[in-house]
């Protein structure tokens, strides 16, 4: 029986992780009484007692938690941004290749990818690796997301009983317009791009899901629409939670699952690379569970909803 401690179990990702793992027969969840949830000594004790510590915390608190872990056997899986570009940490996206999968299985430190970053990286990584997209490419990326990705405060503002009186909440809104979004560093680092994209994230009036689009002119890529689909199909042919759709019309627009769907649309002059995922699934708790399964040697899709 594996002992798991979720540090930050009161947040959106932590709550969903706890709900998933409570159903497992191979896991014992270590918990703290509410009055000790933020107590440093109590947290440190549980972090070091755990076989796997799962961090669902803001960046500063995640860094603090990692510093508390003194047990050399404890695996840390961090869902924050704090370690995603740290070369000493495994990047938790096993579909990117056997080296990524092996690192997750062998590492004591695993960083869960960001939600927007997952869609962007799934589309760009194989194209850069195949030489279809040059590392020097200057890309644009638009991502429309549900409000649950903004955490408890944003969820409360969208779901408040009084919100119908405030029309502005019904309008999709751009954010991070200063181009300092926290996912940008990993978007460049993991794909191998020389520069992060010009990124336009938009939060809209629906709870869950992301549709991310990268527009391209044919001059930017050395391949046709069909060749790009073939590249995706080769890259993800054995992927557990990434599915490629040759026909964009067949790609579902679903939330509440843990699969990342990708496709290509457009024509031979202008292309749209498109990814769809659940920001709380493959974009958060689903990705964390997938990493946990690999770290424990369990079936990779255990506790996941594959659509």
Condensed to tens digits (0 to 9), the pLDDT of residues 198-234 reads 999 999 988 899 999 999 998 889 889 999 999 999 9
Q: For position 167, what pLDDT does the model report? A: 58
Q: For position 157, what pLDDT does the model report? A: 78
H/E stretch holding 67 = helix 59-68
Q: For position 165, what pLDDT does the model report? A: 57
Q: Would you name the residues annotated as active-site residues?
A: 115
Model confidence, pTM: 0.95
Name 303's Cβ contacts closer than 8 Å, sequence gap at least 6. Answer: 20, 21, 23, 24, 289, 293
Q: For position 181, what pLDDT does the model report? A: 95
Q: For position 184, what pLDDT does the model report? A: 98
Output the six-digit token pair for 35.
């009055």
Return the bridge partners of 244, or none: 262
Q: For position 17, what pLDDT does the model report? A: 94
CA distance 2 to 39: 24
Q: For position 163, what pLDDT does the model report? A: 65
Backbone angles phi, psi at 196, to 5 degrees: -70, 165
Q: For position 168, what pLDDT does the model report? A: 61
According to DSSP, the β-strands at 198-204 and 140-146 are: parallel
| pLDDT < 50 positions in the chain | none
Going along the chain from its start, the domains and CATH numbers come out as 2-113+283-296 (3.40.50.720), 115-279 (3.30.360.10)
Q: For position 155, what pLDDT does the model report? A: 78
């Amino acid at each position: 029986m594996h002992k798991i401690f979720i540090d930050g179990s009161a947040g959106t990702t932590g709550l969903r992780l706890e709900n998933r793992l409570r159903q497992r027969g191979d896991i014992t969840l270590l918990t703290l009484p509410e009055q000790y949830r933020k107590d440093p000594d109590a947290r440190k004790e549980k972090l070091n007692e755990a076989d796997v510590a799962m961090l669902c915390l803001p960046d500063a608190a995640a860094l603090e938690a990692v510093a508390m872990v003194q047990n050399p056997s404890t695996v840390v899986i961090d869902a924050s941004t704090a370690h995603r570009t740290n070369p000493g940490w495994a990047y938790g996206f096993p579909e990117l290749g056997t080296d990524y999968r092996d690192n997750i299985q062998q590492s004591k430190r695993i960083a869960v990818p960001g939600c927007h970053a997952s869609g962007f990286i799934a589309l760009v990584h194989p194209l850069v690796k195949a030489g279809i997209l040059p590392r020097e490419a200057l890309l644009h990326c638009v991502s429309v997301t549900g409000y649950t990705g903004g955490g408890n405060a944003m969820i409360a503002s969208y779901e408040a009983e009084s919100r119908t009186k405030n029309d502005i909440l019904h309008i999709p809104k751009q954010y991070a317009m200063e181009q300092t979004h926290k996912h940008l560093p990993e978007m460049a680092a993991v794909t191998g791009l020389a520069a992060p994209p010009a990124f336009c994230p938009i939060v809209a009036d629906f709870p869950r899901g992301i549709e991310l689009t990268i527009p391209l002119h044919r001059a930017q890529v050395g391949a046709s629409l069909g060749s790009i689909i073939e590249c995706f199909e080769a890259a993800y042919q054995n992927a557990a939670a990434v599915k490629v759709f040759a026909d964009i019309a067949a790609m579902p627009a679903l939330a509440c699952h843990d699969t990342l769907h990708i496709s290509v649309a457009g024509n031979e002059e202008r292309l749209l690379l498109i990814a769809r995922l659940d920001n709380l699934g493959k974009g958060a708790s689903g990705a964390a569970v997938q990493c946990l399964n690999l770290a424990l040697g369990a079936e990779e899709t255990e506790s996941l909803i594959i659509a």
